[in-house]
Amino acid sequence: MNETSPPNRVDDGNETSFAETALRMGGKSADEAKRTGAIDRADDQVEQLFKVEYQTVNSPAHRAVWDRQVPIDLFRATPDAPPPNVRKVMDESIEVVRRRRLAKTVLDGEGRVRIDVLQDLAAVGYWGLLVDPRFGGVGAPFRSFAPFLTRMAMEDPTIAGLASVHGCIGAVDPVRSFGSPEQQARFLPRLASGQSLSAFALTEPGAGSDLTALRTRAERKGDAYVVNGEKLFVTNVVPGNTIGLVCLIDDAPAVLICELPPEENDSFEIRKYGIWALKHTYNRGIVFRDFRVPAANLLTPVKGNGLTIAYHGLNLGRVSLCANAAGTMRVMLANILPWARYRVTYGQAIAKRELVQRRIGRLTGLIVACDALVAWCATLIDAGYRGEMECIIAKIFGSESQKEAAVELFMKTHGGRSFLHGHLFGDNVHEYLAPCIYEGEGEMLGMAFFKSLVKQHGTTYFEPVGRALQEAGIRKPNLMNPTHVWALRRVMGPYTAWLLSQYLTTSSRPTLPPMPDGLRRQAEFACEQLQAARLEISGTMRRHQLQLADRQCRMSELSARVQKMIVILCTSLYASDHGDELVREAAELLCRDLTRDLVGRRPSDRYFRAVTKLGASIADGGFTSIAGVEAESILIPYETGSA
């Protein structure tokens, strides 16, 4: 946790935010405006947990658009070798899972990860990777933890995911970041040892992306809180585990650390349901009926409330999701290659066919880009940045890449046999697609990214305009109307000056490190587009004014383009620092794909020659980072189905 910085403005929780005012003026209900204002205040409170220099307005993604020069150094990852004690735990954890996988003893009879596997991992320190050594953990830097999840996902994506659930979005991060010394000493040793694994209970039957729609309540009675309500889609819910429960206390969101009883009872019921994704975990609902939690288990952040705590932990989970995708896609690639060499059509192995070679090249590029985003985001988090915008990019790109890899590249290459019982795709298709929803659905997160991107610009230049319009009772401003111009006469000056400065001065060229020519061109293009984006974004805000919140399609499209620019920049810089020529080629080709998406250009023959050549090299065993991944049998044994 970083030192708390002084807030930019005082917010006692009762002030009406500009977003709330704008929604009311835009014709929205008072309830919707109030809920949006609550989210805005929670976001402000999270910002105040970080030093000013590490807040969103000083983050690389924000500065790349609004500063006069892209801060290249902030887009370069600085990976660091894990300390010896951390490396030991990681290596031994990998060995536990590998041994179990080869012995086919990872899953129990119901297809879930066996409890004794989790206990074996506890014995080598797996569950304490993100817990401080003072409390029996390992204290791994996030720059070590995040890429380690990629390694673990190559062995078993579910077990890699459980590390993220436990350490990032489960009870570990809330307690270590917001818990009192007494709470940390009480909970963290058990969480580090694996004596109690953790989960985070936020979603409800009627509350998903709208975190203000919570219905679960806790009422103080004596020395305990009495909880009533229902939670849904909680991963890692097992009797005896520890959860971070988001609920309402006195109508305000709060987080209680709940130690679940060893068995269900009248107050605590596990709700089971059929779910296609997360089938190897215990993903269940929880029903609380007068469930008592010691009052001492309430987390009380210095600033903010339960939404503040919930927002804080999600960033780590988003980077972890991208890391898991990088490992999962490596497994897909390792299973494409032997099949492509085996499968012959019209006298030639499909590994020699251009379409398959292009798929292999594309998949490798997606993997490299995910690696780049993970390394970059983990670097920022360890440096002290909030990383909200950057981690959203990683989550969206990682989940969408995994979806594309599974359906467009892996499934289509394997053909109809993909749907046989026992095939990697058919058995795991929901696991491949579901991350598009985890930690926030992609397009919804994209709008959150856009909101963070424009918040300061809107507050500085458009908030005064909005308040002047409100005071004048003008709902739809028209600059051809003298009355409207007069009402805005005092507040238009700063924005007019800013706008003129954009046309009268030019942005500085980025100071790029030594780079191969192809990657340099991609980085220069990304920087140029990022700098050009601010005028388009500001123009969109000017055009839509108070109705911008309803222009979801426009916000989503603009957000997606800015995200692609940042992926290009990060990937090109990451690959330039990488010694593997195939990694550089894959990165450049992926960046060229994204560039074409941005400018609407068709692929050239030169591009096709390059991507198929890359695919052929990888088919011949050139991509060393999938070494050690054991592929499934080429001709899988057909399993007897119900049909």
Under the banding of pLDDT at 50, 70 and 90, the label for residue 471 is confident
CA distances 627 to 119, 151, 155, 333, 618, Å, are: 28, 11, 12, 11, 12
Same domain, 382 and 422: yes
Residue 569 predicted with pLDDT over 60: yes
Give the end of a domain, one of 406, 441, 476.
441
Establish if 15 belongs to a structural domain.
Answer: no
Q: What is the CATH number of the domain that holds 369?
A: 1.20.140.10
Same domain, 328 and 425: yes
Mean pLDDT of the chain: 91
Same domain, 352 and 424: yes
How far apart (Å, rounded) are the C-alpha atoms in residues 193 and 137? Answer: 7
Establish if 488 belongs to a structural domain.
Answer: no
Q: Which of 77, 79, 57, 142 is nearest to 569 (CA)?
A: 77
Same domain, 283 and 392: no
State the residue range of the domain holding 428.
310-441
Q: What is the CATH number of the domain that holds 222?
A: 2.40.110.10
Q: pLDDT tens for residues 570-609? A: 999 999 999 899 999 999 999 999 999 999 999 999 999 9
The answer to whether the CB of 388 falls within 8 A of the CB of 452 is yes
pLDDT score of 29 = 63
Same domain, 328 and 380: yes
Establish if 7 belongs to a structural domain.
Answer: no
Q: How many helices (H) and strands (E) does the chain have?
A: 22, 10
Establish if 376 belongs to a structural domain.
Answer: yes
How far apart (Å, rounded) are the C-alpha atoms in residues 354 and 377? Answer: 35
pLDDT score of 611 = 97
Same domain, 278 and 327: no
pLDDT score of 8 = 33
Same domain, 378 and 314: yes
Q: pLDDT tens for residues 54-105? A: 999 999 999 999 999 999 999 999 888 999 999 999 999 999 999 999 999 9
Same domain, 251 and 367: no
Same domain, 267 and 326: no
pTM of the model: 0.93
How far apart (Å, rounded) are the C-alpha atoms in residues 282 and 164? Answer: 15
What is the CA 560 to chain-centroid distance, rounded?
Answer: 15
